[in-house]
Amino acid sequence: ASTTKILTALLAVEYGDLDDIITVGEEVQMLAWDGSKAGLEEGEVITLQNLVYGLLINSGNDAANTIAVHIARKVSGESLDTQEALDYFGGLMNQRAREAGAKNSHFVNPHGYHDPLHYSTPYDMALIGRAAMENELFCEAISVTFVKTAFWTSKLPRFWVSKNKLINEKFSECYYENAVGSKTGYTAKAGHCLVSFASKNGQNLVTAVMKTESGEQWAETRGLFEYGFDNYKYVNILKQGTIVDRLMVDNCTSDDSGSLAVEISAEDWGDVLQKKDIGQIKQDIVWDPSLLSENSTDDMNLLEAPINKGQKVGELRLTLHGRELIRVPVTAVRSVKRKKAAVEILTPDQTAVKESPAKFNWSPLVTAVIAVIIIMWVTILLIQRKKQRRRYFSPRRYWW
């Protein structure tokens, strides 16, 4: 249905220049008679900005075709004929939808008129709507409820007034004060559809309803917004540079306390959560096993020095009801040096002694031995002389 035009408008503001001057061509004749139109005429000259207004405010299928042909020729850089340009634009639509995360959609025309090969889901259209709302020009265009085309067309001025009851205060029974934009859609097969955007207290929501009965789309959308704002909240959960733990480092130098803080090194991160779940988020750190000391226990993890400042030492994991939300790296806030191995420190002289042990001093022993020998020799000599004397005085001497 015509909620398709959100994607067409997004491509217009992403690829085009809103000041582009466009001549309306035969594409405005290539439409079903019962489709909604902005009243464009072939040969008319109009700005791209005004075409986007005619697309979103008046839900003009003719504006959709004119935008598609212009953007296709501009992006391709070729002089495509009208049908080739419309087909080319269909390819751009499907590519952009996939980029937005829409996996169950397929688009074959820029306006959403019924075709068996043209389909989407509420979830996919919400994803496409979210991507569109990230574009400032789209945000401005989707919020406009009235346009007078006097200064942007070669034809008579037109007055386009939004009939979207969610954003037009004239329809007080359906008006929603927090709505910032909305796009209607209808076909017999799709029923009444509505993709809407609202903002409250800094929180932005997107809703999508399809196949509702006439009038139900307004109440259902309002109810979805109120439920969302009452029960969900965007929470900034992780902030870069936050200290998340402190632990000891084993085998650090004696002048280091060994206490090391670790911090989140990833960019800030947040998510939309149910308010009742915000306090249920659990966090734990999965340490790099290659950096853990062998002295670590089940109750206390120790890192092994050395550790460098900024070094990744593990990952911070957030879980909610057992479901992992995100993992981010944690890094050391400072360096921790490793202590040197214990060795005996020797002076050069001591080292020489260690390496070349001193030889035994033989001098005293030699002296003692010589002295003993001399004494023994003298003793023997004295004994021999004494014997000689005895022989000299002995009678036996006379026998000779």
Each of the 400 residues of the chain gets a pLDDT tens digit; together they read 999 999 999 999 999 999 999 999 999 999 999 999 999 999 999 999 999 999 999 999 999 999 999 999 999 999 999 999 999 999 999 999 999 999 999 999 999 999 999 999 999 999 999 999 999 889 988 998 888 776 556 667 778 888 888 988 887 789 999 999 999 999 999 999 999 999 999 899 999 999 999 999 999 999 999 999 999 999 999 999 999 999 999 999 999 999 999 999 999 999 999 999 999 999 999 999 999 999 999 889 999 999 999 999 999 999 999 999 999 999 999 999 999 876 555 555 554 444 445 455 656 666 776 777 777 777 777 777 666 555 544 444 433 3
Token duo for residue 106: 């397929």
pLDDT of residue 397: 40
Say yes or no: 47 and 173 in one domain: yes
Would 351 be classed as within a structural domain? no
Say yes or no: 105 and 179 in one domain: yes
pTM of the model as a whole = 0.74
Say yes or no: 133 and 33 in one domain: yes
Would 347 be classed as within a structural domain? no
> Distance (Å, rounded) from C-alpha 181 to C-alpha 130?
12
pLDDT of residue 345: 53
> Distance (Å, rounded) from C-alpha 247 to C-alpha 295?
13
Say yes or no: 279 and 191 in one domain: no
Would 299 be classed as within a structural domain? yes
pLDDT of residue 263: 97
Say yes or no: 290 and 223 in one domain: no
Would 373 be classed as within a structural domain? no
Alpha helices in the chain (DSSP H): 5-15, 48-56, 61-76, 82-99, 122-133, 136-142, 216-231, 348-355, 363-393
Query: Is 239 in the active site?
Result: no
Say yes or no: 164 and 109 in one domain: yes
Token duo for residue 136: 């400032």
Would 387 be classed as within a structural domain? no
Would 388 be classed as within a structural domain? no
pLDDT of residue 341: 74
Whether residue 60 contacts residue 28, with contact meaning beta carbons closer than 8 Å, is answered with no
Say yes or no: 227 and 307 in one domain: no
Catalytic residue among 36, 59, 105, 182: 59
pLDDT of residue 150: 61
> Distance (Å, rounded) from C-alpha 122 to C-alpha 207?
8
What is the per-residue burial (b if ≥16 Cβ within 10 Å, else e) of 40-55?
beeebebbbbbbbbbb
Query: Is 356 in the active site?
Result: no
In this structure, what CATH number is given to the domain that contains residue 101? 3.40.710.10
pLDDT of residue 233: 93
Number of domains in the chain: 2
Query: Is 5 in the active site?
Result: yes
In this structure, what CATH number is given to the domain that contains residue 288? 2.60.410.10
Would 161 be classed as within a structural domain? yes
Would 43 be classed as within a structural domain? yes
Final residue belonging to a domain, choices 332, 363, 383: 332
> Interior CA angle at 334 toward 331 and 338, to 5°?
105
Final residue belonging to a domain, choices 307, 332, 357: 332
**Residue 168 CB neighbours (<10 A):** 17
Token duo for residue 108: 């074959």
pLDDT of residue 383: 72
CA distances to 76, 274, 297, 382 from 351, rounded to whole Å, are 82, 73, 42, 54
Residues in the chain, how many? Answer: 400
Amino acid sitting at position 352? A
> Distance (Å, rounded) from C-alpha 273 to C-alpha 107?
32
Say yes or no: 147 and 249 in one domain: no
Residue 327: which domain range? 239-332
Catalytic residue among 2, 36, 162, 196: 2
Say yes or no: 9 and 149 in one domain: yes
pLDDT of residue 354: 46
Sign of CA dihedral 171, 174, 179, 184: negative
Say yes or no: 126 and 113 in one domain: yes
Say yes or no: 23 and 172 in one domain: yes
Local structure of 97: helix, strand or coil: helix
Say yes or no: 102 and 178 in one domain: yes
pLDDT of residue 374: 77
